[in-house]
Structure 1
Amino acid sequence: MSDKSKVIWLTGASSGIGKTIAELFVKKNHKVVCCSRNIDKLKKLKSELESDSRLIKIYKLDVANPNEVFDTYQEIKKEADIDCLINNAGITSFNAAKDDSVEEIRKIIETNLLGSIYTIKAVLPDFIKKKHGTIINILSVVTKKIFENSSVYSASKQGLLAYTNVLREEVREHNIRVINIIPGATKTPIWSNDILEKYSQRMMTPNDISKIVFDVFSLNTNIVAEEIVLRPIKGDL
């Protein structure tokens, strides 16, 4: 990735939906900057792609740390022109609100909400300058329906939905697309083994989600899919 080529910047790329997004975009011959806190998993991802590994650049990044976010983006800019940011990094707990510790609350909000805002703030000046860019946020069906034992996670995703909906209106004049993907239950490591064993057959797969992400990214007309809600055909868990 030595030329100043247009690339996708993807957070939370080491597993689940993020990993399959990276794999699909590379398969479609797009260059992807993959970020995660787990550099070993990123190295494994790159090695698994073998001949296509030239299309991947990896960085260890905790999006909850704003200094890391902005420093990493400056490093990326030395080699590539970011065309699309995909905010996928996220964590959760499955506790009742009364049981969430202050530390758990802080980590979830800083990763899911503030982390995505930091990455958006990093790319936005360049997107505005060149009058082009795409921001895709992987949110959650918790923005559409109340689920118990997910209060902080819901707050983080609802906050990002509100932030990006306002952002979209502010950047329309700069030809910047802001797209929110809102998936329901998906078979990823975010779920406990017990839940996966019980419900995995009716869950969506990360591959299902990544295909939708690629399709909305690839729209090359005067159309933008601003919000897409995805649910298992049998409904929410």
Structure 2
Amino acid sequence: MVRRGADLRLRRPVVWVVGASRGIGREIAGRFAAIGCEVCLSSRKSSDLESAVRQIRRLGGKAHSFPCDIRKIGSVSSTARRIRRDVGDVEVLVNNAGVTVFKTFMKTSLKEFGAILETNLLGQITSIKAVLPSMVRRRGGHIFNILSNAAIKTFEGSSAYTAAKAGMFGLGKVLREEMKTHHVKIVNILPGATETMMWSAALRKKYSSRMMKPSSVAEAVLAVYRMPDDAVVDEMVIRPILGDLGG
């Protein structure tokens, strides 16, 4: 079984963060590296990815760049194989890749629906499929699905995003039941408005005081990871101190 605490002094758990080039994913990668994990960062944006890796290494962390297109099954599968070959079995998967459009259902095209579901739902399913067998075999692991409180609360103008996040939320609950006897912890993280590039520059400027920083979400993920082996946080809702935008 995968254990934390004293083991961190003896070995480096392998953490794979998908969607790690900036924002929440980048902060999560940095936090795991800071406690001694060996972090594999993936994203479609190679330049941002290299910047994130350099930043972690400058601070003394162990980090590797593995560019990956989460929308393509072949890319995800080959990336997982390369990580296993070059670094080791993934013990922690952070599913953070995500895209959206802020439009009503009527104005969201089927092409836009497809693109959002492809990344936010199917892509995350593919990454789980790539690492779960080794976690089951080793009887231990963590999978963090970075979702949104849109999965459980209604926000107008986010129908495609909500459909994808709600789908992953439900899948996470099913996986949790199926994996508990294998000691694989499935955790749904549901952040409220967070100051990331998913929002336009104008909205970030307008609502900055009403948004959380990505580092706040990263700290929450790390706290859940450090729970004792005999306990799991099934899901965590994290909201800005002043409440949700539009709610």
Q: What range is the shorter-chain TM-score in?
A: over 0.9
1:51, distance to aligned residue in structure 2 (A):
3.6
Matches within 5 A, 1:167-186: 167-186=175-194
Aligned twin of 2:236: 228
Cα RMSD between the aligned structures? 1.3
Aligned twin of 1:211: 219
1:30, distance to aligned residue in structure 2 (A):
1.4
Q: 1:72 to 1:53 in 2, by over 3 A?
A: farther
Identity %: 39
Aligned twin of 1:196: 204
Matches within 5 A, 1:41-120: 41-52=48-59, 55-78=62-85, 79-120=87-128
- Match of 1:14, SS? coil
Contact kept, 8 Å, 2:89 with 2:134, in 1: the verdict is no
Q: 1:116 to 1:53 in 2, by over 3 A?
A: farther
Deviations 1:148-179 (A, max 9, x none): 11000000000001111111111111111000
1-side partners of 2:212 and 2:47: how far apart?
26
Deviations 1:35-60 (A, max 9, x none): 00001101111222344466111111
1:27, distance to aligned residue in structure 2 (A):
1.8
* Greater shift in the superposed pair: 5-14 or 84-93: 5-14
1:218, distance to aligned residue in structure 2 (A):
1.4
Amino acid at match of 2:29: A
1-side partners of 2:157 and 2:145: how far apart?
23
What is the TM-score of this pair, normalised by structure 1? 0.95
Aligned twin of 2:7: none
1-side partners of 2:229 and 2:175: how far apart?
21
* Greater shift in the superposed pair: 187-196 or 150-159: 187-196
What is the TM-score of this pair, normalised by structure 2? 0.91
* Greater shift in the superposed pair: 190-199 or 43-52: 43-52
Aligned twin of 1:33: 40
Deviations 1:85-108 (A, max 9, x none): 000000000011111122211110
2-side partners of 1:132 and 1:177: how far apart?
8
Q: 1:50 to 1:33 in 2, by over 3 A?
A: closer
Aligned twin of 1:126: 134
Instruction: Say how many residue pairs are matched.
Output: 234
Contact kept, 8 Å, 1:46 with 1:53, in 2: the verdict is no
Contact kept, 8 Å, 1:5 with 1:80, in 2: the verdict is no
1-side partners of 2:235 and 2:46: how far apart?
31
2-side partners of 1:75 and 1:16: how far apart?
25
2-side partners of 1:35 and 1:200: how far apart?
27
Contact kept, 8 Å, 1:7 with 1:30, in 2: the verdict is yes
Q: Which structure 2 residue ranges, 5 or more long, are not aligned?
A: 1-10
